[in-house]
């Protein structure tokens, strides 16, 4: 039986599906892990929409994440173009039109994405959940089947090129918008213009949240749909079912509501000193870029778009300072995310290749890493109450500790 073919299931609309637990268990594990990934995506990428609004005081932190959660849920129902890209455009298909990947491989790739998401969340780095997901799937497919299992042309055109271009496009638009905003309002009072732009940020941040739902929630829908097609529960070429759309939307909304405060602090405070006009320009630029990409079916990294827009808004204001050391760390995370998740996903695919026992090893190992990262995060918590506090640089902490030890 070749990889990618349904081994014990055959979908038929009139007679249904004959159940085999050796296939059903991996499918259920993938669905559960997909929803958990969507949850981590929500609190990992909350900063994409609300970081600048919270940093400028336009919205209270808890109000911001509530608005973002609702609009993420709404956005999940507006489009399925990105979901179809995930389920059909990244992995090569066999003669039956089915992806050349198995359900355990999908589970392994997802685990790689989840582990990388939580690691970068703990570090406070706004890395790409999109690239973590695709990296994990690509690594699992290559180890499990071979390089022929990946549609490399689709990876280049729908992942790599958008990843390279989107932050620069959003940054340039934000730079121009910020420059124009300050030129147009230079005769206005500082207090009056700041108040107006804070109100404007409520709208622009809401647009980013809506755009985030139309793009990022689709990726989990695509993974679940891919799994159902591979297992034979769903016909090839069909889109996400209603329960898939609803579960993905609810998961990302819940994750968003709980708030990714660590990354929100990095985007809102550490890249540049964001003022209301800059925040409005950055959010509007990011929302436009993401919504256009969702319409075209590109699974864009909303993290990269938003970070690029914030950098551009910092450069667009005369004398504004961009903290390039922080930008360098973020760029490094962007570059290594896809290959790092691919390595983790590939290793998990190798472990999962032994059957249900291998899947359990991957599951237990992944859960252990996740729990460990959550416990480490509790040692230095970032919450709605201190998200706007100036974070102390880790190098300074280490320097002070060293000086204390010498004393």
Rounded distance, CA 402 to CA 396, Å?
Answer: 10
Which residues of the chain, if any, have pLDDT below 50?
1-15, 17, 391-407
What's the predicted TM-score (pTM) here? Answer: 0.76
pLDDT, tens digit, for every residue of 241-255? 999 999 988 998 888
Q: Where are the domains of the chain?
A: 21-390
| Model pLDDT for residues 285-309, shown as the tens digit of each residue | 888 888 887 777 777 777 778 888 8
| Among 30, 35, 156, residue whose Cα is nearest residue 101 | 30
- Separation CA 392–CA 397 (nearest Å): 7
The C-alpha atoms of residue 307 and residue 301 are separated, in whole angstroms, by 10
CB 58 within 8 A of CB 202: yes
pLDDT per residue as tens digits for the range 212-245: 888 888 888 889 998 998 888 888 778 889 999 9
Strand partners, 12: 16
CA dihedral 64, 66, 71, 73 (to 10 degrees): 150
């Amino acid at each position: 039986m070749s990889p990618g073919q349904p081994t014990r299931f055959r979908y038929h609309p009139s007679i249904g599906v004959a159940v085999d637990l050796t296939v059903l268990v991996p499918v259920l594990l993938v669905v559960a892990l997909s929803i958990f990934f969507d949850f981590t995506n929500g609190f990992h990428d909350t900063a994409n929409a609300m970081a600048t609004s919270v940093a400028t005081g336009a919205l209270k932190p808890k109000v911001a994440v509530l608005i973002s959660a609702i609009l993420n849920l709404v956005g999940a129902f507006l489009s399925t173009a990105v979901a179809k890209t995930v389920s059909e455009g990244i992995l090569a298909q066999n003669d039956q039109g089915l992806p050349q990947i198995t359900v355990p491989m999908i589970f392994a790739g997802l685990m790689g994405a989840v582990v990388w998401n939580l690691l970068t969340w703990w570090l406070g780095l706004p890395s790409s959940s999109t690239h973590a997901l695709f990296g994990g799937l690509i690594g699992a497919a290559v180890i499990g089947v071979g390089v022929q299992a990946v549609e490399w042309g689709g990876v280049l055109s729908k992942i790599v090129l958008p990843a390279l271009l989107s932050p620069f496009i959003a940054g340039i638009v934000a730079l121009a918008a910020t420059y124009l905003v300050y030129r147009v309002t230079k005769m206005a009072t500082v207090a009056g213009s700041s108040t107006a732009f804070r109100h404007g940020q409520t709208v622009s941040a809401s647009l980013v949240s809506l755009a985030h739902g139309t793009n990022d929630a689709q990726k989990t829908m695509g993974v679940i749909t891919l799994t159902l097609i591979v297992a034979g529960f769903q016909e090839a070429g069909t889109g996400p079912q209603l329960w898939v759309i609803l579960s993905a939307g609810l998961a990302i909304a819940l994750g968003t509501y709980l708030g990714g405060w660590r990354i929100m602090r990095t985007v809102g405070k550490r890249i540049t000193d964001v003022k209301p006009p800059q925040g409005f320009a950055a959010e509007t630029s990011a929302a436009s870029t993401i919504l256009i990409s969702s319409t075209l079916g590109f699974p864009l990294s909303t993290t990269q778009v938003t970070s690029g827009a914030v950098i551009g808004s910092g450069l667009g204001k005369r004398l504004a300072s961009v903290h390039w050391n922080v930008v360098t760390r973020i760029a490094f995370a962007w570059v290594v995310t896809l290959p790092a998740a691919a390595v983790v996903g590939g290793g998990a695919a190798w472990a999962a290749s032994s059957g249900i026992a291998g899947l359990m090893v991957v599951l237990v190992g992944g859960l252990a890493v996740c729990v460990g990262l959550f416990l480490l995060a509790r040692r230095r918590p970032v919450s709605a109450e201190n998200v706007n506090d100036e974070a102390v640089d880790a190098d300074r902490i280490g320097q002070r500790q060293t000086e204390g030890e010498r004393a």
